[in-house]
Amino acid sequence: MATQVVNGGREIGNQKDDASSSPFLSLNHVSYVCRSVPTSVKFYTDVLGFVLIRRPSSFDFEGAWLFNHGIGIHLLEMETTPAKTGVINPKDNHISFQCTDMDLIILKLEKMGIKYVTALVKEGGVEVNQLFFHDPDGYMIEICNCHVLPVLPITSCPTKKHKPLPQINHPKSSHDETSYSCGEDEVWMMDNLLIDMMGISF
């Protein structure tokens, strides 16, 4: 069923009541308040390879826009920005970037005297390397090879094996009768998800 949407008395169109009508496209940028724009710009360009891009001239406050890796970082200068804790806690709020050469990032961090911690996540025979460190204002950053970890909807990756759909030939697992690896049965689960999304029954 379609619903007419009105904003401030102005009709802006009809929105369908289903997920396919979502107007969102992708993440555009993250914005950080920093004590020194030049210092933060140097960090993000030297360590993470960001480049400065043009910023609207109508802004009447100090700041900078950077872009790379399909995402923007907007810096806003505020001298009274409180310093964050110096403890590197992987469970803290952070932004993460995928990387194909972790050693290169580590070399850059060590050259710049930036402290970091590493972690290893194992899932279904897949290993994800993680590297955590802070920017000049204490914001947490993660570098990882997360692209090796399958992206699986939680509804299609149960912790216990359910009876397979009679219409789908589920591959035998090398694990026991009650559990299996999400990575091992990724293809099967994604096939089921696709069928669910398409609403097709055979």
Q: How far apart are CA 69 and CA 197, in angstroms?
A: 30
Q: Report helix, strand or coil for 18.
A: coil
Q: How far apart are CA 181 and CA 158, in angstroms?
A: 10
Query: Which pLDDT score is estimated for 2?
Result: 52
Q: How far apart are CA 63 and CA 29, in angstroms?
A: 14
Strand (E) or helix (H) holding 6: strand 2-7
The domain segmentation of the chain, as residue ranges, is 83-149, 154-198
pLDDT at 14 over 70: no
Do the Cβ atoms of 67 and 50 come closer than 8 Å? yes
The mean of the pLDDT values for the chain is 78
Query: Which pLDDT score is estimated for 84?
Result: 78
| Mean pLDDT, residues 42-66 taken together | 95
142 DSSP β-pair partners:
96, 132
pLDDT at 72 over 70: yes
Look up the CATH number of domain 83-149: 3.10.180.10
User: Is 142 a residue of the active site?
Assistant: yes
Q: One of 77, 142, 184, 186 is an active-site residue; which one? A: 142
Confidence of residue 86 (pLDDT cuts 50, 70, 90): confident
Instruction: Name which of 30-44, 105-119, 147-161, 174-188 the model is least confident about.
Output: 174-188
Query: Which pLDDT score is estimated for 165?
Result: 47
| Mean pLDDT, residues 81-103 taken together | 88
Instruction: Name which of 48-62, 114-128, 184-198 the model is least confident about.
Output: 184-198
Query: Which pLDDT score is estimated for 7?
Result: 55
Query: Which pLDDT score is estimated for 192?
Result: 53
Q: How far apart are CA 24 and CA 8, in angstroms?
A: 21
Confidence of residue 100 (pLDDT cuts 50, 70, 90): confident
Q: How far apart are CA 32 and CA 148, in angstroms?
A: 29
Query: pLDDT for 114-157, tens place per residue?
Result: 999 999 999 888 899 999 999 999 999 999 998 888 888 887 55
Percentage with pLDDT > 70 across the chain = 67
